[in-house]
Structures are given as C-alpha cells and as structure tokens.
Amino acid sequence: MKILMIGPFPPAVNGVTVSNDFLYKWLISKGEKVSYINTETGLIASRQGDKISLSKIITFLSIYKHILKVLGKSVVYMAIGQTFWGLVKYSPFIVLCRLMGIPYILHIHGGYVCKAYEKMSASKKQLFKNLLQGSKTVIALSTGLSNDLKETFPKANVEVVENFYDPRLIGKSTERSKNEKTRFLFLSNLMLGKGILDFLDALRILKDKEILFEVAIAGGLEKGIHDTLQQKVNELGDSVHFFGLADFEKKKELLYWSDVFVLPTWYIMEGQPLSIIEAYVTGNVVVSTHQGGIADISGYDSFFKTEAQNVSALADSLVHVTKQLPELDNSLLVTAQAAQKRFNPENFLFKIETILKGSSKKI
C-alpha cells in the first residue's frame, strides 16, 4: 500500500502523537510505503473548542503546502480533531482525496465529537457531517464512543480500535513491595483539564489528615499555570517529586515505583488515555473519572472512580485507596494480566492494518 498519514506527530508528547508515531514506525517495518504530514501545533491547553487561533491558522496554512502528497496514494489516514475546526482544517486534504477517488480514514482520539456537533449551527452541521460520513471508515476508541457516533452520524462506517501500551513496559514483575508511604503518580500533561491542581489540593487534605505519602509528577506543562502549580507543590514539601516531561525510561521507572496512578480528568477532549492503560499493565491502582471513553476501560477491581472537579471527593478516594492497598494484590495481578491481553499493541496494529487494507484503492 501507499499510505499517507496526516495528524500530530512527535516531538510533542500526547496520546495522539504517540499513537501516530507507533503506527507509522510499524507500517514502515512491514515494508509499506508510508509518508506523513505533521499537523502538531505544540499547544497544551485544557479549554479547546470551535475557536481557531491565528497561530493555528498560520500553522495549517504552512501545512497545506504539502497537500500534493495525497496524489498517488492507496489510502489517506487522518487523526482529526474533535470540533468543527478540528475536522474542517483537514478539508483541503479530504476534498483532494474525493477529487482523485482516494479513500480516507478518520481516526477520532476522544469522546467530544458528538457534543461539539450538537452545538454547531445548521450550516456547520451539514458540512461537518458531509466530511465525516464521506470517509471510508471512522475509527472510535471504544464501544461507547462508537455507539454515540453511529447514533449521530448514521451513514458513517464506524469501527472500534482500542488504545494500546508500549510493549517495552512489560518484562518486570508487577508485584509490589510494601511501602511505608503510599506512592501516588500523576503522569500526563500538566493541564487544568487533566485535574493536576485538583490532585495537589486533594493531597493537601491528606497531609492535613497526617496520611503519609510520596508523589511523583511528570508531564508537559500547560501555559499559564506554572506559578500556581509551583506554589501548591511547595506547600506539600518534600513529599512531591517533580520531573517535568519524562522520556520513556523515566516513565517506566515511575510506573513501577508508584502504587496508585491518579488522573482526575475533566478534559473535554478526553478519549481513552494511554496513561491509564500503562498504569494497568504495570500493576498500579487507578483513580480516575469517567470522562470521555474512560468508563469503557474502567471495569476492573483495581479501578476506583472519582468525581471530576471535586477536590473533597478525590481526597476521599485517595484515602479509601490507601486503606485498601494491602488487600489489592490479587486484583492488581488479575488486572495487569487482563489489560496486557486486551490492550496488546498487536491487536491495535492488526485492526488498523485490516482497516487500511480494506479501504485502500488499488494502484
């Protein structure tokens, strides 16, 4: 196949860039002829919507100079955004695909599309639906998100492809040593929407209750919250270890160091976080919300649901988990084994490859 991938790629680190990079490298290793256009803007922001900034316009105008890469391809795979502009900014590529009879696939890495669609004007809805339903396949991260898409866009061919973990995470025992202090981990972009400040406020409640803990925090920082975050970290004292953006080896080290992975996210674009899957397969307890597609991957005894944007409820969840830790050894092992099977990267790659081959145009 001659494949063109269009979407965000590294050096920015988030679920979409990691997924695209992993798929691209695997397709290359399989001998496929693959090229890509990187649409990453480098922006880390909690509140994204239908407003498009001047910087994004300039970025995409520069990206359109690569539009002729579409020509001669068997199939074009696009990791699109979840708002009106998140899809429409790909429309020049989509229009050229249609003119040339080249099938295109849209991969949606989140659960906000249908909610965004409900808020659009009639004219925007018409354009959005036309672009989306004209794709050969729309890929959703979970069954719940797939059902929402099918209900909103009945003519769309929707397939479910769940996220995956990096196989390099496996190979170390998930059995945990008993620590005097509970070890919490926040491993995600440090954004308001991901709940980082709520987490730090909840930890302050635990500190006031004289509950012993250690915390590791790692991730890229959202613009505008540095001073507030630093103040809250300082208030917690030596119990907090801040690492900034972690490379793979540091991430792996932290996942095996920690007992409890915490992600109290209310991020409107949330999908099926790779970080939760990574926490499962490395034997961590997970405390998170049901935002986006998380509910579809929460059915494990080592998952503890908390309420979004509720510091008191989050603190209660962390206290409860701390008390439960000694009794969770078997649940953690069972979850790790089940998650390693369910989210095996080979499953992800096989499903994507099947969709690409089933959609591709004979050249």
In CATH, what number is assigned to the domain containing residue 296?
Answer: 3.40.50.2000
Residues 335 and 230: their CA atoms lie apart, in Å, by 34
Residues 247 and 244: their CA atoms lie apart, in Å, by 10
Residues 43 and 12: their CA atoms lie apart, in Å, by 9
Residues 103 and 108: their CA atoms lie apart, in Å, by 17
Sequence length of the chain is 363
pLDDT in tens, 251-290: 999 999 999 999 999 999 999 999 999 999 999 999 999 9
CA 200, distance to chain mean position in Å, is 22
Q: Return the ∠ at Cα 327 (arms to 326 and 330), rounded to 5°.
A: 115
Q: What are the C-alpha distances in Å from 142 to residues 108, 145, 273, 329, 358?
A: 10, 5, 11, 28, 20
Note the pLDDT of residue 282: 96
pLDDT in tens, 295-334: 999 999 999 999 999 999 999 999 999 999 999 999 999 9
By C-alpha distance, which of 277, 270, 13 is closest to 165? 277
Note the pLDDT of residue 58: 75
Q: Are 137 and 234 found together in one domain?
A: no
Domain that holds residue 266: 167-342
Q: Are 327 and 198 found together in one domain?
A: yes
By C-alpha distance, which of 339, 336, 359 is closest to 163? 339
Look at residue 72 and give its three-state secondary structure: coil
Say what percent of the chain tops pLDDT 70.
94
Q: How confident is the model at residue 173 (pLDDT cuts 50, 70, 90)?
A: low
| Amino acid making up residue 124 | K
| Distance in Å from the first CA to the final CA of the chain | 8
Q: What are the C-alpha distances in Å from 140 to residues 74, 108, 114, 194, 352?
A: 22, 6, 12, 21, 11
Average pLDDT value for the chain: 92
Examine the pLDDT at 55 and tell me if it is beyond 70. no
Mean pLDDT score, 242-256: 92
Q: Are 253 and 305 found together in one domain?
A: yes
* Backbone φ, ψ for residue 234 (5° rounding): -60, -40
Note the pLDDT of residue 257: 95
Note the pLDDT of residue 53: 62
Q: Are 337 and 349 found together in one domain?
A: no
Q: Is residue 278 within 8 Å of residue 219, measured between CB atoms? A: no
Say what percent of the chain tops pLDDT 90.
84
Residues 175 and 160: their CA atoms lie apart, in Å, by 32
**Which value, to the nearest 10 degrees, does the dihedral of the CA atoms of residues 221, 312, 15, 55 take?**
-40
Residues 107 and 161: their CA atoms lie apart, in Å, by 9
Note the pLDDT of residue 59: 72
Note the pLDDT of residue 154: 96
Q: Are 222 and 298 found together in one domain?
A: yes
Residues near 184 by Cβ (< 8 Å), separated by ≥ 6? 203, 213, 214, 215, 216, 258, 259, 260, 261, 262, 318
235-258: b or e for each residue (b if 16 or more CB lie within 10 Å)?
eeeeebeeeeebeeeebbebbebb
Q: Is residue 193 within 8 Å of residue 44, measured between CB atoms? A: no
Q: Are 188 and 316 found together in one domain?
A: yes
Note the pLDDT of residue 12: 84
pLDDT in tens, 94-133: 999 999 999 999 999 999 999 999 999 999 999 999 999 9
Q: Are 112 and 221 found together in one domain?
A: no
pLDDT in tens, 123-167: 999 999 999 999 999 999 999 999 999 999 999 999 999 999 999
Q: Are 290 and 177 found together in one domain?
A: yes
| Beta strand segments in 67-135, E | 75-80, 104-108
Residues 46 and 61: their CA atoms lie apart, in Å, by 24
- The pTM for the full model equals 0.91
Q: Are 145 and 15 found together in one domain?
A: yes
Note the pLDDT of residue 184: 98
Number of structural domains (the chain) is 2
Mean pLDDT score, 60-79: 94
Q: Are 152 and 181 found together in one domain?
A: no
Q: CB burial class (10 A; 0-12, 13-18, 19+) of residue 351?
A: middle
By C-alpha distance, which of 172, 186, 311, 297 is closest to 242? 186
Residues 56 and 279: their CA atoms lie apart, in Å, by 33
Q: Are 85 and 141 found together in one domain?
A: yes
Q: Are 219 and 132 found together in one domain?
A: no
Which residue has better confidence, 62 or 211? 211
